[in-house]
Amino acid sequence: MGNLSRKLASDGCVILAVGLLGCASNTGTSGETHFLCGNTDECRAHGSNLVCAQGECVDERSIGAGGSGGGTATSLEGVWDVVGSTVGYPSTSMVVTLSPTSLLIDNEGGFLHATRQGELWAVDSSYTIRSRVSDLLGRADRHFPATRTSPVDADLGVIPLPLLGDWTIGNEQDCTGTFGDGSISGGCGPVGPGPEWAPDLDEGSVTATRMETRSSVFGTLGGAWTVTSTKGVACQVTIHDATIMGTCGSASRFAGAFTLQYDQDVVHGSTSNGLEFTAQRR
């Protein structure tokens, strides 16, 4: 029974991981169809059907289908309240802010703030980590740059962040990655433990390969994906229409099935292990 509470506590974070998985997919990709703008004339140079809305060029046909909280039904941009499962406590909450120039995640146990200037992102984070020696919980406060090189032009649908391309996170000895059209990969050197909810990338790597394409509000991410990591994660993920669903093998702590659905001003999901979350745009 000794590990029970620790397991429950860590599992409580998994739902946040699932939520963030959606956000990570959201944040990890976007193409150069998302031009920043001050007025519509600036957008017309990139396409006759583009207009300037909330600082970003968008297809004028998408205007009018707006949400209620600062974003539109065709974009995840906005401020989101998220509630998710924990064990032994009421459902926990976090606030996620998404825009073409920022990703801000705040919860009761920490935060991750990433703000963009050109292709350079400044990342501030504070999160709970578990010591591999003592198994005790501690806190990591980290500040590092993330730089995108070789931007890739692709349609990422509702995802507002322009992140497709090659990445260096920290320095080149820390983490590097590639968000491509049809494949995503990344790996890290000896960076130490990451957040409890995240896949372990300390001296490891993860690869996602699109096996077939599907239509999706997530643009080019639509399709059937195979995800593997050097730390034992093996998942099959399908992104179709507004739904992300998948299953992960039993060898990792992400074992089981999950679904995530985007429905204009709401994102909700659950796992086969009973974890749930719902996010509502303000």
Partner 1 sequence: MKAPGTAAIPRRGVLGLLALGTVAAAARSAYPVARARPDPDGPRLRITNGAAPVRTEALPALWLALASTPPERRAAFLDDLEAAFVSAAARANPLLVDVLDLDPEAVLDEARPWLLPLCTAASSLLAPTHVSADGFAVEVLSPSTTPSPDDVPAWSADDAGPARRARFLAWPVARALVVRGPANGLLGSLDDALGRSSLDPGGSVALVLSAPALRGNGDPRIATVLRRLSDGASRMHATGDVLRAASIPERGGDLVPWIALAENERLVVPKLGAIAPRARFPDEVRRIASAHGAAIVGGAG
Nearer to partner 1, 111 or 144 (CB): 111
Over the window 11 to 30, marking each residue x when it contacts partner 1 by CB under 8 A and - when it does not, the resulting string is: x-------------------
Question: Under the criterion CB under 8 A, does residue 124 sit at the interface with partner 1?
Answer: no
Closest CB to partner 1 among residues 52, 275: 275
Question: How many residues does the structure list for the chain?
Answer: 282
Query: Which residue number, 44 or 240, has a Cβ lying nearer to partner 1?
Result: 240
**Count, residues near partner 1 per rule CB under 8 A:** 42
Separation of alpha carbons 188 and 60, rounded Å: 41
**What is the C-alpha to C-alpha distance for residues 42 and 122, in angstroms, rounded to an integer?**
27
Which of 269, 208, 223 has the alpha carbon at shortest distance from 14? 269
Q: Considering only residues 159 through 218, tell me which ones interact with partner 1, judged by CB under 8 A.
A: none
Least Å distance, CB 6 to partner 1, is 7
The CA distance from 73 to 66, in Å, is 5
230 binds partner 1 (CB under 8 A): no
| Site pattern 82..121 for partner 1 (x: CB under 8 A) | -xxxxxxxxx-xxx----------xxx--x----------
Residue 181 DSSP symbol: S
User: Can you tell me the distance from the alpha carbon of 107 to that of 83, in angstroms, rounded to the nearest whole number?
Assistant: 10
Could you say which residues in the range 37-76 bind partner 1, by CB under 8 A? 68
**Cβ neighbours around 202 below 10 Å, total:** 14
Applying the rule CB under 8 A, the residues between 238 and 277 that interact with partner 1 are 263, 266, 268-270, 272-277
DSSP-assigned states of every residue in 49-92: TEEEETTEEEEGGGTT-B-SSSSBTT---EEEEEEE--SSSSPE
What values do phi and psi take at 20, rounded to 5? -70, -30
User: Nearest approach, Cβ of 231 to partner 1 (angstroms)?
Assistant: 21
In the complex, the residues that contact partner 1 under the rule CB under 8 A are 1-9, 11, 68, 81, 83-91, 93-95, 106-108, 111, 263, 266, 268-270, 272-278, 280, 282
